Amino acid sequence: MGQRSALEANRQYHAAMSSPPPSEFVHVHVPGTRPLTLLLLHGTGGNEHDLIPLGRILAPEASLLSPRGKVLENGMPRYFRRLAEGVFDLEDLRVRTHELAEFVAQARELYGFDPRRLVAVGFSNGANTAASLLLLEPGLLRAAVLFRAVMPIEPEPPPALDGVAVFVSAGRRDPFAPDERVERLATVLTEAGAEVTLRWDEGGHELAPDSVTAAKEWLARWRERTAPAR
C-alpha cells in the first residue's frame, strides 16, 4: 500500500470511528449502571453537552443519550424550524420528529438500552420536541420531563398514550410559553391517556433549581412505581 493509500485508509478509519448513526445526529452517549435511559434534548443554542449535568442530577445512575439539534437558526442549533417567535414550522416539525425517532431506534440497537425504560428530558425547544415525540411517535417514550414546553402541534389522529407519564414544569412569568398553550399541552396529553403532572412556579423561562428538584422527585416516584418485578 502506497503512502497516499495508507493516509486515506487512516482518514476513513477515524471518520468511521467518530461518525454518528445514519440519521447523522451528532450526539453523546454516557453509559449508566441502571436500566434507565434519559433522552436529553437541549434548548435553542444548546448542544449535546448542555443537559448532561441535568441528567446526572435527575437520575445519577441512568444512561444518557443527548443528540444535538440539526437545524440552525442564526447559527444556533435547534430541533426544528420556526417561522417567528412562537410560530413553529409544522411541516418541518413533523419531519424532524420522525427523523429523531429514527435516530432513537438506531441508538437503541447501537447501545442496547431498554425501550421500556426510555424517558425524554427536554428544555424549551427540546421540551417542545419531546412533546412532539409523544404526540406523533406514540410508543417511543415511556415518560417525559418537559421544562418550559408548549403545545407544539395538534396531532391527527390523536395518539394513544395509556401508561405514559409526563411531568410539565411551567413558569407563570414565562414570555415564551403562554399559559393557554401550556394548559393545552397538558389537556391533550391527558385526553390521550397520559398521566400528566403540571407544576406551575412563579419563574420565567429559566431552568429553576426548585423545578429541577421537583422533577427529580417525580422521576424517582415514577421509577419506583414502574420498576420491573424481581
66 flagged as catalytic = no
- Rounded Cα gap, residues 172 and 93, in angstroms: 26
Q: How far is CA 98 from the centre of its chain?
A: 13
Distance CA 68, CA 27 (A): 6
Q: Which amino acid is at 188?
A: V
Of 27, 66, 132, 174, catalytic: 174
Round to whole Å and give the CA distance between 187 and 106: 31
23 catalytic per annotation: no
Active site residue 49: no
Task: Check if the beta carbon of residue 195 is closer than 8 Å to that of residue 164.
Answer: yes
Coil vs helix vs strand at 29: strand
Given 23, 29, 201, 205, the catalytic residue:
205
Q: Active-site residue among 124, 132, 169, 211?
A: 124
User: So which residues are the catalytic ones?
Assistant: 124, 174, 205
